[in-house]
Amino acid sequence: MAGKDDADNPGVAAPPPLVFGGALAAGLLAHRLRPTPFLPRAVARPLGWLLLGGGLLLGGSGIRALRNAGTNVDPYKPTTAFVAVGPYRFTRNPLYLALTMMYAGISFLARSLWAFTLLPGVLAVIRCGVIEREERYLERKFGAEYRRYKARVRRWV
């Protein structure tokens, strides 16, 4: 019987979009039940749109880089290629950075303190339950090549 370290996937704790989306939905629901705006509209709107748009562009670029390399985007499927091009030249986790930017952008647009204050918890879950598992998996799969990449490219930015 194969152990979880033998599986050809990182064994992430939960789908990252579900972690971000679930927390965002909970924060927006709490905001609806007990509104607590935290930014003036004149600041929240441009900042929110900038983060949301930037996150969409970054996420699209990251997905395109993975697909061009012929590897899976889904963390429950095997990684078939090591990708260090496109946004992966600057951050090891452009898709999670993109989700973070979109989450923050929506929180700003809604002016929801509730949603925004849940973000650090989301990032802790993503770090421990997803990123660290993916990094161990990629080190097992790609060895020294991944360790060199990890030494030169930051986890976030």
The CA-atom distances, in angstroms, between 105 and each of 60, 98, 114 are 16, 10, 14
pTM to 2 decimals?
0.93
Query: How far apart are alpha carbons 68 and 51 in whole angstroms?
Result: 25
The pLDDT score that the predictor gives to residue 1 is: 39
Query: How far apart are alpha carbons 28 and 107 in whole angstroms?
Result: 8
- In sequence order, what are the residues at sequence separation of 6 or more whose Cβ sits closer than 8 angstroms to the Cβ of residue 42? none
Task: Tell me the pLDDT tens digit for each residue of 3-48.
Answer: 455 579 999 999 999 999 999 999 999 999 999 988 999 999 999 9
